[in-house]
Amino acid sequence: MQDTAVAYLEQANSDSHDLYRRVNRAALWMESTCIFLKEAQAEGEKNWLELLELADQAIDGLPFHQHLPIIKECVHICSYLYVKTLRMWKFDQPSPFLQTESQKLLLKLLSHPSLPVKMETYKHILNLVKDCLGIQNVSRKESAACGGINFLTHHRVLYEISAFGLQDSAEKVNVAAKDILLFLLKGQLMMTASTWDRFNEALYPVMPILQGYADTEESLGNCVLLISDMSDVARDNVFPSTAKLKAALRLLFTKQPTVRIAAVRHILPHLTSDDDAHAIRPELDQTVISSLPNLFCLRNPLDITLDTSSKSVLKVESVEKLFCILSSDTVDISLRRSAAEQLSVVLQGQWFVKYTSFNVQNLLNAYILFINIKMYFSSMCLIHSMLI
The pLDDT value recorded for residue 160 is 95
The pLDDT value recorded for residue 171 is 94
The pLDDT value recorded for residue 86 is 41
10-residue mean pLDDT series, the chain (388 residues): 58 60 75 87 84 91 88 92 55 71 94 93 95 77 74 94 93 95 90 89 92 90 87 60 88 90 87 62 74 81 61 69 78 77 68 50 56 57 54
The pLDDT value recorded for residue 120 is 95
**Greatest pairwise CA separation for the chain in angstroms:** 95
The pLDDT value recorded for residue 233 is 47
pTM for the model stands at 0.70
The pLDDT value recorded for residue 176 is 96
The pLDDT value recorded for residue 90 is 47
Q: How far apart are CA 179 and CA 133, in angstroms?
A: 12
The pLDDT value recorded for residue 179 is 95
Q: For the chain, give the secondary structure using H, E and C.
A: CHHHHHHHHHHHCHHHHHHHHHHHHHHHHHHHHHHHHHHHCCCCCCCHHHHHHHHHHHHHCHHHHCCCHHHHHHHHHHHHCCCCCCCCCCCCCCCHHHHHHHHHHHHHHHCCCCHHHHHHHHHHHHHHHHHHHCCHHHHHCCHHHHHHHHHHCCHHHHHHHHHHHCCCCCHHHHHHHHHHHHHHHCCHHHCCHHHHHHHHHHHHHHHHHHHHHCCCCCHHHHHHHHHHCCCCHHHCCCCCHHHHHHHHHHHCCCCCHHHHHHHHHHHHHHHHCCCCCCCCCCCCCHHHHHHHHHCCCCCCCCCCCCCCCCCCCCCHHHHHHHHHHHHCCCCCHHHHHHHHHHHHHHHHCHHHHHCCCCCHHHHHHHHHHHHHHHHHHHHHHHHHHHHC
List the CATH code of the domain at 63-274+283-293.
1.25.10
All CATH 1.25.10 domain ranges of the chain, comma separated, are: 63-274+283-293
Q: At what angle do helices 96-110 and 69-80 cross, to 10 degrees?
A: 150
